[in-house]
Amino acid sequence: MRDPVSALFKPQADEFYFTALGGTEEFGVNLNLYAFGDQWLMVDLGMGFADENLPGIDLLMPDPTFIAKQRDKLAGLVITHGHEDHIGAIPHLWTRLRCPIYATPFSATLIRRKLAEAGVLDQVEMHDLNPGKSFDVGAFTCEFVPMAHSIPEACGLLITTPAGSVLHTGDWKIDLEPVASFKTDEKRLREIGEAGVLAMVCDSTNAGSDDFVGSEGELEPSFTKLFGELTGRIAVTCFSSNASRMIAVAKAAAANGRHAALVGRSLWRIYEAARDLGYMDDIEPFIDAQEAAYLPPDKVAYLCTGSQGEARAALNRIANNDHPHVVLERGDTVIFSSRPIPGNEKSIGKIKNKLMQAGIRIITPGEEMVHVSGHGSRSDLTEMYQWVRPQIAEPVPGEHRNLLAQAQLATDCQVPDVLVPENGQVIRLSREKGSELVGTVPHGLLALDGNRLIDIEDGPVQERLRLMHNGVVNVVIVIDRRGDLVAEPQVQLVGLVDDDEYDDTEDEVIAAVEIKLEDMNRNQRRDDHLVAEAARHAVRRTVKKRFDKKPVITPNVVRID
């Protein structure tokens, strides 16, 4: 945890506060907190992708320690929508929080499946709620407000307390032709604005873009036309949670005499949840990859996970010829129906290169109309500010440049009070005093390392980084009970030297260890710990002098009679 000290903030009665423990200054890992009186409300609890700087780690999530230590004051967790960066951490972190969860039916369906897999579903108090009716979560009166996005039932959240109201938009855009999604409710948003909004905590993802975002409704005819021009197998990759994209691909495939197949477990989870709630009634059922393998190449269209280059996703396995049922060959086509999340460009590029080396055509959003963003650009944001007219603007989520872009836009829209928050900063929201930074709370990131959660600042991750950058030296010292060396120390150098340097370096390290041990008296050499530390010191000094490196050193003392 980057801020290990105890919280520097304590809520005051009858005052309204906001803080983010994740998702501000970064994409993903969303965790937002609101406080009023002595109660807290959490909005979203998501995960994000790790990059190559965290070896062995695929997924990250926010560290909830601050609020978990006072979970008796946590009234509930409210979910704006079902994307992984907003719900993905729930099955991993809920046992630390043990609070009720409030969500729309589609999001609740996804969450229940995750909780069931984690074995805790029967312990969780879940509330399925539709927009249009307020509900109380402790001291907070809440209302879901329909928003267009790239997943069913995305909503903003109106949070009302005696100190004022906040509109937490969640992820959203203005879409006049949504598919399997709400339409952003302009009428209700104008009503909220007329009633008076103390603050708007608003999505900043596309705040720096002037481009027209486009509508999900435009993609079906675009895919249909494109599919008609392609021969061979077609594979489309997108975010697994994009139910709207599933429908567009399915309809385009059917219009061109192809069968649509889903490849990837997470796609099947979203499809089944959407189907059970009636969002897939207008398309033919998807087939699985095994069934599709028996079809002629021009009769299949795959929809695959892996648009962000994920190592374990379907597209990466296909590109490496490692998928049990899907094979792509020269003359086939892969369509990337998504934009890269910042930080994923390298892994996506590797997959594209492998596909192109195999003679497979790549189509991206820069070449054809195959993707529209689920996040509003500057024109959408401008309309939102005109509808809601908040007293205070708080840009989230996104990297700092995204937050600054929205802050400038809010200022241009005549919002009187604009504050750009950082993770862990507590902002007081007041009608009389406006926004004010009043303290900080601990925050940080947890890494999913296999089946356990660890702090990214803890030993395992940091040691892997040292191994990656500095190598490792293993030393074995065989010594008898009297403290005399029985044999020459054995040294293994890993990731540190070239083959032509190995023997000389090995000899130098062995000599340094022997000299260090000779400088010890017999009593000291009878202590395994002292012998190990002496060897560690000798290796460290030798390698530092020779290579200016600080490798991981593992001395092992073998004591024989």
Cα–Cα distance between 388 and 457 in angstroms, integer?
A: 41
DSSP symbols for 370-439 = ----SS--HHHHHHHHHHH--SEEEE-SB-HHHHHHHHHHHHHTT-SEE----TTEEEEEETTTEEEEEE
Question: Among 421, 41, 444, 441, which Cα is nearest to 201's?
Answer: 421
Contact 120, 91 (CB under 8 A): yes
Cα–Cα distance between 249 and 254 in angstroms, integer?
A: 9
Return the domain boundaries, the chain: 16-211+373-453, 216-363, 460-560
Q: What is the layout of strands, in order, in the sheet containing 552-560? A: 490-494, 472-480, 552-560
Output the furthest CA–CA distance in the chain (Å, rounded).
Answer: 87
Please state the three-class secondary structure of 32-81 as a single string: EEEEECCEEEEEEECCEECCCCCCCCCEEEECCHHHHCCHHHEEEEECCC
- The tokens describing 3, both together, are 């801020």
- What per-residue confidence (pLDDT) applies to 1? 36
Fold of 216-363: Rossmann fold (3.40.50)
Cα–Cα distance between 229 and 376 in angstroms, integer?
A: 31
Whether a cis peptide bond, with omega within 30° of 0, leads into 365 is no
- The tokens describing 388, both together, are 């809601």
Contact 16, 431 (CB under 8 A): no
DSSP E strand stretches across 420-516: 425-430, 434-440, 445-449, 452-455, 472-480, 490-494
- The tokens describing 256, both together, are 């061109």
For 268, the 3-state DSSP assignment is: helix
Cα–Cα distance between 314 and 321 in angstroms, integer?
A: 11
Cα–Cα distance between 5 and 443 in angstroms, integer?
A: 10
What CATH number has the domain spanning 460-560?
3.10.20.580
Q: Which helix (H) or strand (E) holds 459?
A: helix 459-470
| pTM for this prediction | 0.83
Fold of 16-211+373-453: Metallo-beta-lactamase; Chain A (3.60.15)
- What per-residue confidence (pLDDT) applies to 220? 96
Question: Among 31, 9, 12, which Cα is nearest to 444's?
Answer: 31
**Per-residue confidence in pLDDT tens, the chain, 561 aa:** 334 334 457 788 889 999 999 998 888 899 999 999 999 999 999 998 765 565 556 688 899 999 999 999 999 999 999 999 999 999 999 999 999 999 999 999 999 999 999 999 999 999 999 998 999 999 999 999 999 999 999 999 999 999 999 999 999 999 999 999 999 999 999 999 999 999 999 999 999 998 888 899 999 999 999 999 999 999 999 998 899 999 999 999 999 999 999 999 999 999 999 999 999 999 999 999 999 999 999 999 999 999 999 888 999 999 999 999 999 999 999 999 998 887 788 889 999 999 999 999 999 999 999 999 999 999 999 999 999 999 999 999 888 999 999 999 999 999 999 999 999 999 999 999 999 999 999 998 888 766 667 676 665 665 655 656 667 888 999 998 888 888 889 988 887 777 778 888 888 889 998 899 888 898 888 888 999 999 989 888 888 888 887 888 888 988 887
CA angle 304, 308, 312 (to 5 degrees): 65
Q: Report strand pairing: 16-22 vs 31-36.
A: antiparallel
- What per-residue confidence (pLDDT) applies to 7? 46
Q: Report strand pairing: 434-440 vs 425-430.
A: antiparallel
- What per-residue confidence (pLDDT) applies to 26? 84
